[in-house]
Amino acid sequence: MSTPVVAGHPAYWTVPVVRAAIGFVPALVFTFNPDHTATFGLVAFGLWALVSGLVVGALGARFGQDRVGRAAWMLNGAVTAIAGILALVLPVSLATFTVILIAWAAVTGLVELVVGLRGRGVDPASRDQVVVGALTMVYAVVNLVLPADSATVVGYLGAYLVIIGVYLLIGGLSLRFGAVDRRAGGAAPTGTLPGTEQS
């Protein structure tokens, strides 16, 4: 028989909201700081990725949908934190900056996209995960195929963080107040995620 899975932890909305808030910090720094060198970009990305990987990864691991979802958050948190460390310790160059960004965005975007697709029809957060995962993979492709100097790469990163941040903030608040509406109406969506069936 199938075991119903309640759609989403009540506190999951904090994950996208905190993720957005952390991302807005380097985006603002990029906007108001004229230094868009590879050195500056690596340091800013490194600090953001390290903090974001640890904080958001921990929150996602605690409030994720199920075992697979929590594992995905732990994986993406670890990949993001490692990318941050590499950005801070590897020799500075535009190539280093670009390769780290492409590898990080490709891996984390794919993981988030797969988790979102897996939760469709069950988890209210799955749509946002699909969109953010897809946008992150597009961001990886942009860095891969478009020739750019350090200023442009930093600009791409700032634009990505703003776009994703706004989307995540709206999505997180929608989850928060949507949960309130569901409780007030006495309804709670349930379903079964693939791989959660029990006999």
Q: Does residue 21 register a pLDDT over 50?
A: yes
Q: Does residue 115 register a pLDDT over 70?
A: yes
Q: How far is it, in rounded angstroms, from Cα 112 to Cα 69?
A: 9
20: confidence class by pLDDT, cuts 50, 70, 90: very high
Residues ≥6 apart with Cβ < 8 Å to 154: 30, 36, 40, 41, 44
Q: How far is it, in rounded angstroms, from Cα 5 to Cα 190?
A: 6
> Which residues sit opposite 79 in a β-bridge?
none
State the average pLDDT for the chain: 87
Does residue 183 contact residue 7 with C-beta atoms inside 8 Å? no
* pLDDT value at residue 154: 95
Mean pLDDT across 89-112: 97
Percent of the chain beyond pLDDT 70? 85
Residue found by looking up tokens 């957060």 in the block: 125
* Tokens, residue 118: 């897996």
173: confidence class by pLDDT, cuts 50, 70, 90: very high
* Tokens, residue 83: 């990318």
Is 131 or 147 the better-scoring residue by pLDDT? 131
Q: Does residue 60 register a pLDDT over 50?
A: yes
Does residue 133 contact residue 109 with C-beta atoms inside 8 Å? yes
pLDDT digits (tens, 9 = 90+) for 40-52: 999 999 999 999 9
pLDDT digits (tens, 9 = 90+) for 71-92: 999 999 999 999 999 999 999 9
Does residue 111 contact residue 75 with C-beta atoms inside 8 Å? yes
Residue found by looking up tokens 């989307």 in the block: 167
Residues ≥6 apart with Cβ < 8 Å to 85: 46, 50
Find the Cα–Cα–Cα–Cα dihedral 40, 103, 164, 150, rounded to 10°: 30
